[in-house]
Amino acid sequence: MATPTIAVGDKVPHGTFNYIPHTPELDDQLVCGTRMSSYMNSNKVVLVSVPGAFTPTCHVNHLPPFLARYDEFKAKGVDIIAVLAANDAFVMSGWARVEGLKDKILALSDGNAEWSKAMGLSVDLSHVGFGLRTARYAIILDDLVVKYLGVEPGRGVTVSGAEAVLEAL
* Ramachandran sector of residue 25 (left: φ over 0; alpha: ψ -120 to 50; beta: rest): alpha
Q: Is 32 a catalytic residue?
A: no
The total number of residues written for the chain in this structure: 169
Spell out the residues 6+ positions from residue 94 whose beta carbon is closer than 8 angstroms to its own: 53
DSSP 52: -
107 forms beta bridges with: 83
Query: Is the Cβ–Cβ distance between 108 and 115 less than 8 Å?
Result: no
Catalytic residue, from 53, 58, 157, 159: name it.
58
Between CA 13 and CA 38 the distance in angstroms is 14
Query: Which amino acid, residue 64?
Result: P
Strand 132-134 to 122-124 pairing: antiparallel
Collapsed DSSP state (helix, strand, coil) of residue 45 = strand
DSSP 135: -
Give the residue numbers annotated as catalytic, written as ranges: 58
